[in-house]
Amino acid sequence: HMLQGLEVDENPLLNPVHEEEELEIVFEDEWLLVVNKPAGMLSVPGKAEDRDSVYHRLKKKYPDATGPMIVHRLDMATSGLLLVAKTKEVHQHLQAQFASRSIKKRYVAVLDGAIIKTEKETKPIAEKAILLAKETVSTKKTAKAERTGNTGRIELPLCLNPLDRPRQIVSREHGKEAITEYRIISESEKHTRIAFYPLTGRTHQLRVHAAHPEGLGCPILGDELYGKKADRLYLHAEYIEFRHPISGKILRIQKEADF
Active site residues: 75
Q: How far apart are CA 164 and CA 128, in angstroms?
A: 39
Report the length, in residues, of the chain.
Answer: 259
CA angle 191, 194, 198 (to 5 degrees): 140
**Inter-residue contact 80 to 211 (CB < 8 Å):** no
The secondary structure of residue 12, as a DSSP letter, is G
Q: How far apart are CA 122 and CA 59, in angstroms?
A: 53
